[in-house]
Amino acid sequence: MAVIIPLVNGTSYNTVTAHSAESYKNTVNFYTKFLGLKTQSSKDNESILTNEDICIKIVLEESNDGFKLDEARFNELFKLTARSDWRSKVPQSLVFNVENINIIKDVLIELDAPRQFHPSELSPMFLYTLDPLGNVVGVTETKNAVSTKPMKPTSTTSTMKVHSSLPSKVTSSTDLAGQIKTTTNYPSLPKAKGHEKAIAVMTSGGDAPGMNSNVRSIVRSAIFKGCQAYVVMEGYEGLVRGGPEYIKQVTWEDVRGWSTEGGTNIGTARCMAFKKREGRLLGAQHLIEAGVDALIVCGGDGSLTGADLFRSEWPSLIKELLETKRISEQQYTRYQHLNICGTVGSIDNDMSTTDATIGAYSALDRICKAIDYVEATAYSHSRAFVVEVMGRNCGWLALLAGIATSADYIFIPEKPASSEEWQDHMCNIVAKHRSKGKRTTIVIVAEGAISADLTPITPKDVHKVLVDKLGLDTRITILGHVQRGGTAVAYDRVLATLQGVEAVNAVLDSTPETPSPLIAINENKIVRKPLMDSVALTKSVADAIQAKDFDKAMSLRDTEFVEHLNNFMAINSADHNEPKLAADKRLKIAIINVGAPAGGVNSAVYSMATYCMSQGHKPYGIYNGFTGLSRHESVRSLNWKDLLGWQSRGGSELGTNRHTPEEADIGMVAYYFQKYQFDGLIIVGGFEAFVSLSQLERARDSYSAFRIPMVLIPATLSNNVPGTEYSLGSDTALNALMEYCDIVKQSASSSRGRAFIVETQGGNSGYLATLAALACGAAASYVPEEGISLEQLSQDIETLSGAFENAKGRDRFGKIILKSKNASKALTTDKLAEVITEEASGRFDAKSALPGHIQQGGLPSPIDRTRGTRFAIKAVNFIENNQDLIAEARSDDGDFDITDKQVSATASVLGVKGTNVVFTSIRHLYDVETDIAKRMPKIIHWQETRTIADHLVGRKRV
């Protein structure tokens, strides 16, 4: 039997005994990964694993009987995982303190190890697992575990949870913070524990909005971790030229304010010299001379390919430098390895394995605004406009812009047709749209658009066809480099910042054997992918296009790209073609808006209605919420012509209010549902919509009219709907708030020693304030989840005072502080500004700034438009797929079991969780994951982002 010596007061180690060579090996591997331990010593029959706090000795004493007992105990406990508490079945267990129990949870998921949570998986105080010998081992964040010391996350802890081909299991904020305590000086940085690494960053290839945010994040994250930070000027050209002019060490203040600037401040240039070995030899020499041993490259696939080639050649390069005496023996020994990491900066969004590249959504934003402007003049004259956008080998910009602006036709390189086919097909669609009363025609052409024989399709070609075949008054608009210019949108700033933090984590985690990582994003999660696999997949798309294998090119694109293309074709056909579904499969589907207006709501309604039409369903709009339905029977079938323009409009064209069905009269709501024989319901809205869906689901027992599939698409700038990490409207609001803060910060910079306190909306959710603080580089943010403590306020005033004192007249030194309206009942925004000014004692002053409902209004962002479309179509599919499941329960005489989980799940919330889009039962969310009183989910998914936002501005947390 395995022997455990538990940790008790004064004990710093424990011993585990295995009884077979295989179980011994598995146990060593388990504890190494589970607790992030390093091997201090290892023998054939004994291993000592340790970090600075704990020590575990694993001993091998071969015994067949002992092995069988271990195996039997493991199997017995494993069978009880879902039924009984392991602690009641064993005489003892081993428990360790940890900083973040969720990190350990991710490790166990990766190991596929059994696990139990207490008191619940949602908010665990204790997490238990079984080691390979059947011993019960646990971790806790509480202070009263058996262990006498907390286990500190180490670099090993980070490495153990990352596999190069899998998403990173390390939460960047936890890894960034670790056990490092900030100082009281400005900027509030950790005390360095000696030299770790010198990390350089460079931008290469075409510039992209957000690159400056990425560089700022990398520089400050490196400094925060006690490393030296360098920038390489002018891309690979700077590596080849070398010297302090091109490879510069930078300080914390050198990158201040960079998030608000477009382009790349460290420059980028084409470098033919680096493509040759002699150029790479010079680059290696110059990096060694500067003392750099890790390089992070922000660029496209060509730039990242060059970076990985540079790394693979590094051993031979430094050997040649030593032999030619261009570096010393000491330098050769010191710089044996070069760690490389890539972040993708490209407006084309042409890198495979990531949903978005830095700069892509900023370019899309420029395109959508330009098309919105063009469409206004097109409507005035009933004109057609042909708009050319960038995208040499990737049609992502053209495709997403087509969805976001309801374009009539798009040309992308991945799906060409023959010369005659595209002309006839385009004219057919445009003619149908015109015949149904549409006054405008928008055709979007990617610059890499081709026909099936690889002949380029130019805007002039499209213009000629529209004029000659349809007789339309047609104009050409080529957007050109306007798409690259300007500052980054909020999404790109946040993406670039979080990827910069993860890139620093990645190079610090990397070993000589680790494949070069690429920092990517899948849905809502920052992940690491193998760099060269991603580049190879990207290049294979272009190769497939050149080989005229367009089916392969489409198959190599991410599934989301294919999904977007199918969505565009479906909503573009609306009711102009024969419906796809047979008559007996066609449904009556209602859609309603509940809650406050939010960007993307109209996009969801438009897409739902047009997709329903293409399928053969009949879409109904319920106007002015549940009160409109119960008081005025405000139900109207939706037709295509009346919906024209909704995709790009803000607010809510259906009308909305905050009344739930019970407040509006749920009996009348049920009566009208029964009258119109709805087969499904889509609700678009915020927390009131969430409560409404719960009320309808619970009323199914009394009203058979509600025994239909129902789904909620979260739409609120507060982003406080349980079951999702993203709500429609939050991106639009974040952009509006960010632009407001940029302007206010400029005003603050014009007056020496001034800070602005900007009030944000969001109810009891600090999401908007937190993400805006990250995007704008706010000096501090106050949110309802934390409140405003006098100690933290006092420390922030001292930090700001130090910042202004050290400014010494430098430019762009305005400061902003973000405060959620509900962060404090006692301290209003005006009062907070007065308190800060008074306590600053003349060192600086503070003014209040209230953007108010600016955060709710305006045109929806391209992200909210396209995600509104994507979610709406998924919602319709959900209703289609759940018809059979609930069909029997819909009849009055049928037995209806309100406890049936399958039936209950036909009323769900559509949401983004990590790397997945999921449907979660409203009953589970309402009963388990929601704080109803606070109108908030119990788990704050963005909480860790606050740590990053604070660290990157040097804020001292109390």
Q: Give the CATH number, domain containing residue 320.
A: 3.40.50.450
Q: What is the CATH number of the domain that holds 392?
A: 3.40.50.460
Residue 148 reports pLDDT greater than 70: no
Q: Domain check: are 374 and 329 in the same one?
A: no
Q: Which is the catalytic residue, given 131, 175, 293, 348?
A: 348
Q: Which of 38-42, 410-414, 654-658 bottoms out in mean pLDDT, i.e. has the lowest? A: 38-42
Average pLDDT over residues 849-870: 93
pLDDT digits (tens, 9 = 90+) for 907-919: 999 999 888 899 9
Token pair for 399 = 């495709």
Tell me the torsion sign for CA atoms 620, 624, 625, 626: negative
**Which one-letter DSSP state was computed for residue 253?**
G
Q: Domain check: are 723 and 866 in the same one?
A: yes
Average pLDDT over residues 577-584: 92
Q: What is the CATH number of the domain that holds 27?
A: 3.10.180.10
Average pLDDT over residues 50-73: 86
CA-CA distance, 36 to 32, in Å (whole number)? 5
Task: Identify the pLDDT of residue 14.
Answer: 80
Left if phi > 0, otherwise alpha if psi is -120 to 50, otherwise beta: which for 507?
A: alpha
- The mean predicted confidence, pLDDT, of the chain is 88
Q: Domain check: are 328 and 382 in the same one?
A: no
Q: Domain check: are 646 and 790 in the same one?
A: no
Instruction: Detail the residues annotated as belonging to a binding site for ATP.
Output: 206, 270-271, 300-303
Instruction: Detail the residues annotated as belonging to a binding site for Mg(2+).
Output: 301
Reduced to 3 states (helix: H, G, I; strand: E, B; else coil), residue 291 is coil
Alpha helices in 761-850 (DSSP H): 767-776, 790-807, 829-840
Instruction: Detail the residues annotated as belonging to a binding site for beta-D-fructose 2,6-bisphosphate.
Output: 658, 716-720, 754, 761-763, 847, 853-856, 935
568 lies in some domain: no
Q: Domain check: are 611 and 656 in the same one?
A: yes
96 lies in some domain: yes
546 lies in some domain: no
CA-CA distance, 500 to 492, in Å (whole number)? 12
pLDDT digits (tens, 9 = 90+) for 215-274: 999 999 999 999 999 999 999 999 999 999 999 999 999 999 999 999 999 999 889 999
Q: Domain check: are 752 and 679 in the same one?
A: no
Task: Identify the pLDDT of residue 84.
Answer: 78
Range among 156-165, 174-183, 257-266 rated most confident: 257-266
pLDDT digits (tens, 9 = 90+) for 184-207: 777 888 765 555 789 999 999 999
Query: H/E element holding 14?
Result: strand 13-18
Task: Identify the pLDDT of residue 685.
Answer: 97
864 lies in some domain: yes
841, 858, 875: which is the final residue of a domain?
858
Concerning whether 70 is annotated as a catalytic residue, the answer is no
Instruction: Detail the residues annotated as belonging to a binding site.
Output: 206, 270-271, 300-303, 346-348, 383, 390-392, 447, 475, 481-484, 658, 716-720, 754, 761-763, 847, 853-856, 935
Q: Domain check: are 750 and 850 in the same one?
A: yes
Task: Identify the pLDDT of residue 155.
Answer: 34
CB half-sphere exposure, 196, CA atoms < 13 A = 18
Q: What percent of the chain has pLDDT over 70?
A: 92
| Cα dihedral value 832, 838, 841, 844, nearest 10 | 40
Q: Radius of gyration of the chain from Cα atoms?
A: 30
| Predicted confidence band of residue 11 (pLDDT cuts 50, 70, 90) | very low
Residue 79 reports pLDDT greater than 90: no
Task: Identify the pLDDT of residue 187.
Answer: 83
817, 832, 858: which is the final residue of a domain?
858
Residue 882 reports pLDDT greater than 90: yes
Task: Identify the pLDDT of residue 828.
Answer: 95
Tell me the torsion sign for CA atoms 61, 64, 65, 67: positive
Q: Where are the beta strands (DSSP E) in 19-93?
A: 38-42, 46-50, 55-60
CB 344 within 8 A of CB 299: yes
Task: Identify the pLDDT of residue 2.
Answer: 40
950 lies in some domain: no
436, 460, 483: which is the final residue of a domain?
483
Q: Domain check: are 507 and 631 in the same one?
A: no
Task: Identify the pLDDT of residue 352.
Answer: 87
Average pLDDT over residues 2-26: 65
Residue 98 reports pLDDT greater than 90: no
| Predicted confidence band of residue 54 (pLDDT cuts 50, 70, 90) | confident
Task: Identify the pLDDT of residue 811.
Answer: 64
More confident residue, 654 or 943: 654
How far does CA 36 lie from the centroid of its chain? 27
**pTM, to two decimals:** 0.84
Q: How many domains does the chain fold into?
A: 5
- Among the listed residues 854, 852, 855, 846, the one whose alpha carbon sits nearest the alpha carbon of residue 756: 846
Q: Tell me the angle at which helices 396-405 and 559-573 cross, rounded to the nearest 10 degrees.
A: 40
Task: Identify the pLDDT of residue 52.
Answer: 65
More confident residue, 289 or 807: 289
Q: Domain check: are 402 and 479 in the same one?
A: yes
Task: Identify the pLDDT of residue 890.
Answer: 66
Distances in whole angstroms, Cα of residue 944 to Cα of each of 183, 516, 771: 20, 26, 11
Q: Domain check: are 472 and 400 in the same one?
A: yes
Task: Identify the pLDDT of residue 240.
Answer: 95
247-279: string of b/e by CB count within 10 Å (b at 16+)? Answer: bbebebebbbbbbbbbbbbbbbeebeebeeeeb
Average pLDDT over residues 274-278: 94
Residue 179 reports pLDDT greater than 80: no
Q: Domain check: are 723 and 765 in the same one?
A: no
Residue-range definition of the domain harbouring residue 469: 366-483
Query: H/E element holding 497?
Result: helix 490-509
CA-CA distance, 653 to 665, in Å (whole number)? 23
Reduced to 3 states (helix: H, G, I; strand: E, B; else coil), residue 405 is helix
174 lies in some domain: no
Residue 640 reports pLDDT greater than 80: yes
Task: Identify the pLDDT of residue 6.
Answer: 36
551 lies in some domain: no
143 lies in some domain: yes
Q: Domain check: are 150 and 26 in the same one?
A: yes
